[in-house]
Chain A
Amino acid sequence: DVKVTQSSRYLVKRTGEKVFLECVQDMDHENMFWYRQDPGLGLRLIYFSYDVKMKEKGDIPEGYSVSREKKERFSLILESASTNQTSMYLCASSLVGTGLRDQPQHFGDGTRLSIL
């Protein structure tokens, strides 16, 4: 089975801190994704990557950056954390298939991040 591991289940940080969320997958998937999930808003895509060192903006990239130095690892960075970034963050991965579109995504269990 595919395993997507997020480094922390719960994280508490302070406003202005630089925050790193780590995600590792063990199935050699090309595509990796970062989402945030908020009540009433569903899942919103922050960034995704279809190859090492490649990244694409999703729907809400402002205030975030990402890093993919190795195929199995995709990091989400909050450059200067703010209270409106308090959320559940979900990482996912998928095979390339014929593109980003026709392969199921495999999710980690999420990181619940609180910014105080």
Chain B
Amino acid sequence: SQQGEEDPQALSIQEGENATMNCSYKTSINNLQWYRQNSGRGLVHLILIRSNEREKHSGRLRVTLDTSKKSSSLLITASRAADTASYFCATVFSGNTPLVFGKGTRLSVIA
């Protein structure tokens, strides 16, 4: 499967701590995207990082991409209870093909 794989599957932290989620994939990518899904809702796009970029920031989010290791990480700093959600990576492979989503990491932030 070309699907990206998130690690860990579930993560529980205290409010104020940092949360790190990882995504690994198997073949060369054009870009990688991270999405958040609150319980019972649709996915919301967080950030896109292209294959020629190594790091991007958006507010409390920091995404890194290591194409040599075929992996990406999403760091949420100073987490809040409202960050409780599932987080998905989605990869774009060569050609004009749609995104392929991983199975997600469930993050619980405890107040």
Contact = CB atoms under 8 A, between A and B. Distances in A.
B43 interface: yes
Interface string B70-104: 00000000000000000010101000111111111
B82 to A, nearest CB: 18
Interface string B25-67: 0000011010100001111110010100000000000000000
Nearest to A90: B42
Interface string A59-103: 000000000000000000000000000000010100000011110
* Interface band, chain A: 20 to 34
A116 interface: no
A110 B41 contact: yes
Given A42-B102, A42-B103, A102-B30, 7 more contacts: A41-B103, A42-B104, A45-B98, A90-B43, A100-B98, A105-B99, A110-B40
B3 interface: yes
Contact of B96 (A35, A101, A107, A110): A101
* Interface band, chain B: 20 to 34
Contacts of A33: 98
B50 to A, nearest CB: 8
B92 A102 contact: yes
Interface string A38-61: 001111010010000000001000
